[in-house]
């Protein structure tokens, strides 16, 4: 029988959405996934118009996610969608993901995992129970040089890690953009849809995920100050956090949405006893290695030199000097997700190492971080501990 593409549905991501379009491009890039259906908006007319834009047949465009899960389940297995991409605002991650899992669909979900830690833990339980594949799009871990960085730390070349400096400055919320009705600003600054945090939830959690992903270390306690600089805003737009990692490493995490003219400047510097590294998301194909007694090295994405690790090499599509960017990194998650879904569909057990993407466990950890930082910010005490699992 001929090989088939993975069949995917989507919830959210209707006309005008940013992250929905990103997910679709990421899913399409490698030609492994076919978008077969969707519930693109809570507004049925908008959902249908979006489906038409995407060349979907009218009968696979649904008025609601509930309808979609129900009706897709009734379609013959070899046509039915196999997985769903959830690209709604935060408060709608949990209900949609739960229903998807309960109906037997694999899930790839935008971050943060849920509206709060309680929801996040409930999802983790459900994923374990159903045995379905669950990917969370902490997309920055999809970059080849982030994978290379993790391999380098793992290899012990840097020695025991001492210091981690993670930062994520942006400037787009330096004024009260939500007052203009701008869609992205509107829900991200609304505690009813975004949750307890804006800046840390939206971007700080990416920095946390990146730091833990590369170093393999876990944050133990935090000392945070969150600030709302823009008058009239309901959630914080800036956060500075001191970090203590298990095992003794120390760190700083700084996230900001009011740092004018900073675009999406996620960056990380890590220093160990024997060496260090540095990576910038805006120049993602470069990784700097730092040594005490040798010249600094510039590692570069691309298969041409033969010095990169297998995980970094496999995450590239092009020769050196042909820049790969945000969408390619995002697509790496989708490609791995598709492979895991394909494997799961065969009925075999999917080994942990095939889950080369952030999982529900990362999502729980991220929600714990967000809640702990918010709690610390309100405390007069210096250190607030991350919750035990």
Could you say which residues in the range 312-331 bind a second copy, by CB under 8 A?
Answer: 317-328
Give pairs for 359-362: CB < 8 Å, separation 24+.
359/127, 359/134, 359/135, 359/136, 360/113, 360/120, 360/123, 360/124, 360/127, 360/134, 360/136, 361/124, 362/113, 362/136, 362/138, 362/209, 362/213
Closest CB 118 distance from a second copy, rounded Å? 27
Q: Which is nearer to a second copy, 56 or 344 (CB)?
A: 56
Instruction: Tell me if 305 contacts a second copy by CB under 8 A.
Output: yes
In whole angstroms, how close is the CB of 59 to a second copy at the nearest point?
11
Binding window for a second copy (CB under 8 A); candidates: 80-88, 118-126, 163-171, 349-357:
163-171
Among 162, 311, 343, 345, binds a second copy (CB under 8 A): 162
Q: Using the rule CB under 8 A, is 261 a contact of a second copy? A: yes
Specify the residue, 53 or 102, whose C-beta has the smaller distance to a second copy: 53
Give the pair of three-digit tokens for residue 373: 């930082």
Tell me the per-residue interface mask from 166 to 195 with a second copy, x by CB under 8 A, - otherwise.
Answer: -x-xxxx-xx--------------------
For a second copy, the closer CB: 123 or 177? 177
**By rule CB under 8 A, what count of residues binds a second copy?**
97
Binding segment (CB under 8 A) for a second copy, from list 78-86, 99-107, 287-295, 339-347: 287-295
> Which lies closer to a second copy via its Cβ, residue 103 or residue 317?
317
250-256 and 161-169 strand pairing: parallel
Cβ-based neighbours of 218, under 8 Å, separated by 6 or more: 212, 245, 246, 365, 386
Minimum distance between the CB of residue 314 and a second copy, rounded to whole angstroms? 14
Exposure b/e, 169-183, CB count within 10 A at least 16 = b:
bbbbbbeebbeeeee
Per-residue interface string for the shown chain with a second copy, residues 218-247, x marking contact by CB under 8 A: -----x-x-x-x--------x-x-x-x---
Candidates 124, 262, 356, 362; binder of a second copy (CB under 8 A) is 262
Sign (positive or negative) of CA dihedral 102, 94, 220, 169:
positive
CB of residue 213 to a second copy, shortest distance in Å: 19
Q: 201 or 272: whose CB is closer to a second copy? A: 272
Q: Minimal distance in Å, beta carbon 122 to a second copy?
A: 32
Distance of CA 193 to the CA centre of its chain: 18
Backbone angles phi, psi at 302, to 5 degrees: 120, 150
> Strand, helix or coil at 51?
helix
Among 69, 94, 245, 271, binds a second copy (CB under 8 A): 271
User: How far, in Å, CA of 365 to CA of 211, rounded?
Assistant: 12
Q: Rounded to whole angstroms, how far apart are CA atoms 136 and 333?
A: 9
Judge whether 29 and 318 are in contact, CB under 8 Å. no
Write the CB contacts of 79 (distance below 8 Å, at least 6 apart in sequence). Answer: 7, 36
Q: Does residue 299 touch a second copy according to CB under 8 A?
A: yes
Q: Whole-angstrom Cα distance, residue 193 to residue 214?
A: 30
Decide: helix, strand or coil at residue 286. strand
Distance of CA 119 to the CA centre of its chain: 17
Q: Determine, following the binding rule CB under 8 A, whether residue 348 of this chain makes contact with a second copy.
A: no
The distance of closest approach from Cβ of residue 88 to a second copy in the complex, given in angstroms and rounded to an integer, is 19
* Minimum CB distance to a second copy smaller for 140 or for 357: 140
Per-position x/- string for 32-71, each x denoting binding to a second copy as judged by CB under 8 A, each - no binding: ---x----------------xxxx-xx-------------
Q: If binding is defined by CB under 8 A, does position 304 make contact with a second copy?
A: yes
Instruction: Write the interaction track for a second copy spanning residues 364-383; mark x where CB under 8 A is met and - where it is not.
Output: ---------------xxxxx
State which of residues 183, 246, 296, 385 lies at the interface with a second copy (CB under 8 A). 296
Helix, strand or coil, per DSSP, at residue 227: strand
């Amino acid at each position: 029988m001929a090989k088939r593409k993975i069949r995917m549905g989507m919830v959210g991501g209707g006309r005008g959405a940013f992250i929905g379009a990103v997910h679709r491009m990421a899913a399409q890039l490698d030609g492994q996934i076919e978008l077969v259906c969707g519930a693109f908006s809570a507004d049925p007319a908008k959902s249908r118009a979006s489906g038409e834009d995407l060349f979907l047949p009218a009968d696979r465009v649904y008025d609601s996610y509930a309808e979609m899960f129900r009706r897709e389940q009734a379609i013959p297995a070899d046509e039915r969608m196999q997985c769903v991409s959830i690209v709604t605002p935060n408060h709608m991650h949990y209900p949609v993901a739960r229903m998807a899992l309960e109906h037997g669909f694999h899930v790839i979900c935008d971050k943060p995992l849920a509206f709060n830690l309680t929801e996040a833990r409930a999802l983790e339980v459900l994923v374990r129970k159903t045995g379905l594949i669950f990917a969370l799009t902490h997309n920055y871990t999809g970059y080849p040089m982030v994978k290379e960085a993790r391999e380098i730390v793992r290899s012990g070349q840097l020695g025991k890690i001492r210091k981690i400096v993670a930062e994520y400055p942006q400037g787009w919320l330096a004024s009260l953009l939500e007052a203009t009705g701008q869609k992205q600003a509107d829900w991200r600054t609304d505690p009813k849809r975004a949750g307890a945090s804006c800046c840390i939830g939206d971007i700080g959690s990416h920095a946390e995920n990146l730091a833990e992903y590369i170093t393999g270390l876990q944050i133990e306690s935090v000392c945070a100050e969150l600030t709302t600089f823009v008058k009239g805003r309901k959630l914080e737009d800036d956060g500075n956090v001191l970090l203590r990692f298990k095992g003794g490493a120390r760190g700083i995490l700084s996230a900001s949405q009011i740092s004018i003219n900073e675009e999406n400047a996620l960056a990380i510097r890590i220093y160990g006893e024997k060496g260090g590294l540095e990576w910038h998301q805006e120049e993602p194909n470069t990784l700097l290695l730092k040594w005490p007694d040798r010249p600094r090295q510039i590692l570069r994405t691309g298969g041409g030199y033969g010095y990169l690790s297998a995980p970094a090499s496999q995450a590239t599509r092009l020769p050196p000097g042909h820049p790969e960017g945000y969408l390619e990194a995002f697509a790496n998650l989708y490609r791995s997700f598709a492979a895991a879904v394909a494997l799961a569909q065969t009925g075999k057990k999917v080994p942990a190492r095939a889950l080369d993407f952030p999982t529900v466990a990362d999502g729980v950890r991220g929600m714990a971080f967000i809640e702990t930082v918010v709690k610390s910010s309100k405390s007069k005490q210096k250190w607030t501990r991350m919750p035990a699992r």
